[in-house]
Amino acid sequence: MSTVIQPAETPGTAGAPRETSGARLAVRRFLRNRLAVAGLCVVAFFVLFCFVGPLVYSTDQTHTALQQVNLSPSGAHWLGTDAVGHDELGRLMYGGKVSLIVGLAAGVLATVIGTLWGAAAGYAGGWIDAVMMRIVDAGIAIPALFILLVVSAITTPGLGGLILILGLVSWLVPSRLIRAETLTLKNRDYVLTLRAIGGTHARAILRHILPNSVSTVIVATTFQIADAILLVAYVSYLGLGVQPPATDWGGMLSAGLTAAYSGYWWLIVPPGLAIILVVWAFNAIGDGLRDAFDVRGRG
């Protein structure tokens, strides 16, 4: 046959000026979302504040200084001091480091566990899926806080332990998200093709399903981090988190609250505000990423 017509390029999709890549479009969409950009700035600020701040504004956060407790903000102590004489601004940096590290690590851990569990359940299907998802349902029915309290009552976890426990109680929601994603991806033609020519299940999951659910995973991670930071604050507020002299924002809030009736606002407002801002910021970033990645319906 001699009459091979070149495929007519589609003006709407493939043709005309070269389409910018998906990743670049996503970045552009994200940057157009003002709240998300504000969230990114807030997170960047707190990271700098907690990790670089102590180098500029160095304070003693290990020894108590009982001669200068509960001082109100002044030139020497910008945010005053707490009940054992620690500089409050320095403590905000010091506690924030713990909050951010634990929150980030626990959020990532939860998403990793949830992703693997959800992908395995969705891909396997049938009774394996049913059993795995009933376990998730059961887990969701038990309040995470309850589990945390029980565990804290039994042992006193260190930093690593806290991350592990938080990660283990909060992977349930992401596992559901990823399972749903896997259910649609596993019947894609490229996965069927791979299975038909004898590709392994591991290859299907690791090479095709997980890379294609990466946007869902990233979005889930940001929300998980926000949740984890809040959860750390809860636990520490109840006095079951990291132990003194180490602290985190939740612990600071808890300590400050005992002095609430004395009018020592500088012990309550700064850590409270920090928690609210960071949690809001991660949620805003998550929203922005979700909208940026969600290209369905845009063709």
Partner 1 sequence: MTATQASAAATAEPILELDDLAVVFTTESARVPAVRGVSLHVRPGETLALVGESGSGKSTVALAAMGLLAGNARVTGRAVIDGTDIVAADEARLAALRGRTVSMVFQEPATALDPLTRIGKQIAEVIRNHRDVSARDAADQAVDLLRRVGIPEPEKRAAAYPFQLSGGQRQRVVIAMAIANDPALLIADEPTTALDVTVQAEILDLLRRLAAETGTGVLLVTHNMGVVADFADRVAVMYHGRIVETGPVEDVLLRPSHDYTRRLLAAVPRLSVAEADRPAPDREPAPEGASGSATDVAPVVELRGVSVVFGRGRRAVRALDDVSLAVRPGETLGLVGESGSGKSTAARVALGLITPTSGTVSLFGADLARTRSRARRALRSGIGVVLQDPVASLDARMTVGECVAEPLRVHRRELSAQDRRGRVEAVLDRVRLPRDIVRRAPGELSGGQRQRVSLARALVLEPRLLVADEPTSALDVSVQESVLEVITELQDELGFACLFVSHDLAVVQHFARRVAVMRAGRIEEQGPTGTTLLHPETGYTRRLLAAVPVPDPVVQRGRRAERLATLAAGRTEGEA
Q: What does the binding site for partner 1 look like in residue numbers (CB under 8 A)? A: 1, 3-5, 7-17, 19-22, 25, 28-29, 188-190, 192-200, 203, 207-208, 211-212, 214, 298
Q: Which is nearer to partner 1, 11 or 75 (CB)?
A: 11
CB of residue 87 vs partner 1: minimum separation in angstroms?
Answer: 49
Q: Which is nearer to partner 1, 101 or 201 (CB)?
A: 201
Q: Which is nearer to partner 1, 14 or 276 (CB)?
A: 14
CB of residue 71 vs partner 1: minimum separation in angstroms?
Answer: 55
CB of residue 107 vs partner 1: minimum separation in angstroms?
Answer: 24
Q: Which is nearer to partner 1, 6 or 155 (CB)?
A: 6
Q: Which is nearer to partner 1, 24 or 63 (CB)?
A: 24
CB of residue 169 vs partner 1: minimum separation in angstroms?
Answer: 31
Per-residue HEC secondary structure of the chain comes to: CCCCCCCCCCCCCCCCCCCCCHHHHHHHHHHHCHHHHHHHHHHHHHHHHHHCHHHHCCCCCCCCCHHHCCCCCCCCCCCCECCCCCEHHHHHHHHHHHHHHHHHHHHHHHHHHHHHHHHHHHHHCHHHHHHHHHHHHHHHHCCHHHHHHHHHHHCCCCHHHHHHHHHHHCCHHHHHHHHHHHHHHCCCHHHHHHHHCCCCHHHHHHHHHHHHCHHHHHHHHHHHHHHHHHHHHHHHHCCCCCCCCCCCHHHHHHHHHCCHHHCCHHHCHHHHHHHHHHHHHHHHHHHHHHHHHCCCCCC
CB of residue 26 vs partner 1: minimum separation in angstroms?
Answer: 11
